[in-house]
């Protein structure tokens, strides 16, 4: 199994784990990242290590049973990056067109910014609408794989929260101390 294939399967297992946790917990957030060794999972809320391990096992079982849709998650970075890229391109395109209509020594004029604003807003809204399904499609076809084949979970172990984990605690949980940050590493193997 190639490294990229391992990452895609681990990414799918990460998402499926978050889906399983969401079925059983209302007040929590999660964020993770996958690599060829497994995935890091950061939990913000009242979720125990035993519940995380049980969710990983359930996610693994359900993916192996054919519930491949669990590998796709609407809040994945793939969706967010796709949407942000499309919105940025939309706004830049409108500004470029406005600047092209009335060029002045290759500089962006303040009046061009003002004139471009309504069109840029509409273009960004369209990009936001298109970005989500486009990101889900990219995720499903390129960044995750719900078919685990012989990928196995080796361990689920707590790790110290990193600086990034603490930053996401501020972003996802507003720094709420009742939604404390806990981090885990889920190690996988197989498919060599």
Look at residue 103 in the predicted model and tell me its pLDDT. Answer: 63
CATH fold of 3-74+144-189 reads: 3.30.980
Helix 49-64 / helix 3-24 crossing angle, nearest 10 deg: 120
Q: Domain residue spans in the chain? A: 3-74+144-189, 77-143
Q: Which of 169, 157, 143, 139 is nearest to 56 (CA)?
A: 157
Look at residue 96 in the predicted model and tell me its pLDDT. Answer: 86
pLDDT tens figures, 105-137? 556 667 777 888 999 999 999 999 999 999 999
Look at residue 143 in the predicted model and tell me its pLDDT. Answer: 97
Edge-to-edge strands of the sheet including 152-159? 28-35, 38-45, 181-189, 152-159
pLDDT tens figures, 2-18? 999 999 999 999 999 99
Q: Determine if residue 160 is left, alpha or beta; phi over 0 gives left, psi from -120 to 50 gives alpha, anything else beta.
A: beta
> Averaged over 157-166, what is the pLDDT?
93
Burial class (CB in 10 A: 0-12, 13-18, 19+), 128: middle
pTM of the model: 0.89
pLDDT tens figures, 28-83? 899 999 999 999 999 998 899 999 999 999 999 999 999 999 999 999 999 999 99
């Amino acid at each position: 199994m190639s490294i990229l294939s391992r990452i895609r399967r681990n990414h799918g297992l990460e998402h499926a784990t978050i889906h399983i946790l969401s079925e059983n917990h209302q007040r929590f957030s999660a964020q993770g990242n996958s690599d060829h060794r497994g995935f890091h999972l950061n939990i913000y809320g009242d979720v125990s290590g035993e519940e995380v391990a049980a969710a990983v096992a359930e996610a693994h079982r359900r993916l192996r049973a054919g519930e491949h849709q669990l590998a796709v998650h609407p809040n994945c970075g793939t969706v967010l990056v796709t949407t942000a890229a499309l919105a940025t391109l939309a706004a830049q395109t409108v500004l470029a067109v406005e600047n092209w209509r009335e060029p002045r020594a290759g500089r962006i004029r303040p009046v061009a910014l003002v004139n471009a604003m309504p069109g840029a807003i509409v273009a960004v809204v369209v990009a936001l609408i298109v970005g989500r399904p486009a990101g889900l499609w990219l995720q499903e076809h390129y960044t995750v794989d719900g078919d685990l084949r012989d990928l196995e979970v080796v361990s689920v172990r707590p790790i110290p929260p990193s600086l990034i984990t603490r930053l996401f605690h501020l972003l996802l949980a507003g720094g709420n101390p009742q939604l404390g940050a806990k981090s885990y590493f889920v190690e996988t193997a197989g498919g060599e």
